[in-house]
């Protein structure tokens, strides 16, 4: 979880530094410095950053789900467990009152996952 987050942060910083280095340059420079390649590199950095940060968020979600299941004193019903593990893939799982009341942290992280995608 930490490695994809760190790589995503480094990719975002590299994207910013690349864009800052292009600031004030002519869009008609020859070779790799022209506008077409600048857009390609910028898009690549943006895609890499989003992919890495999304991976980190998904890993954090799964770790939080397992933590919530293991440390819940009362336990979850089978339907709630099914919804809990499907929360990042199935919008209908958000309708589970048991998850909202007993695994609020997982619920909030799942909202971030859906917002991010």
Q: How far apart are CA 117 and CA 88, in angstroms?
A: 10
Give the model's pLDDT for residue 32.
61
Residue in 48, 46, 62 with CA at minimum distance from that of residue 113: 62
Give the model's pLDDT for residue 39.
87
pTM comes to 0.80
Tokens of 57: 């968020």
The answer to whether 102 touches 79, Cβ cutoff 8 Å, is: no
Q: Long-range contacts of range 70-79, CB-CB < 8 Å, 24 or more positions apart?
A: 72/102, 72/103, 74/102, 76/102, 76/103
Give the model's pLDDT for residue 33.
66
Residue positions counted in the chain: 117
Give the model's pLDDT for residue 107.
92
Q: Could you read off the pLDDT of 14-23 as tens digits, one per residue? A: 999 998 888 8
Domain limits of the chain?
A: 2-116
Tokens of 95: 């309708």
Look up tokens 């199935």; give the residue.
90
Low-confidence ranges of the chain (pLDDT < 70): 27, 30-33, 117
Q: How far apart are CA 61 and CA 35, in angstroms?
A: 39
């Amino acid at each position: 979880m930490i490695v994809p987050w760190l790589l995503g942060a480094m990719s975002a910083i590299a994207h910013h530094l690349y864009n800052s280095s292009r600031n004030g340059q002519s869009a008609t420079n020859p070779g790799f410095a022209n506008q077409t390649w600048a857009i390609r590199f910028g898009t690549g950095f943006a895609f890499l950053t989003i992919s890495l940060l999304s991976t980190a968020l998904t890993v954090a979600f799964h770790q939080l789900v397992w933590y919530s299941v293991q440390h819940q004193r009362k336990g979850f019903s089978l339907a709630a467990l099914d919804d809990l593990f499907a929360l990042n893939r199935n919008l209908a799982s958000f309708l589970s009152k048991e998850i909202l009341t007993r695994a609020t942290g997982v619920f909030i992280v799942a909202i971030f996952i859906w917002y991010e995608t």
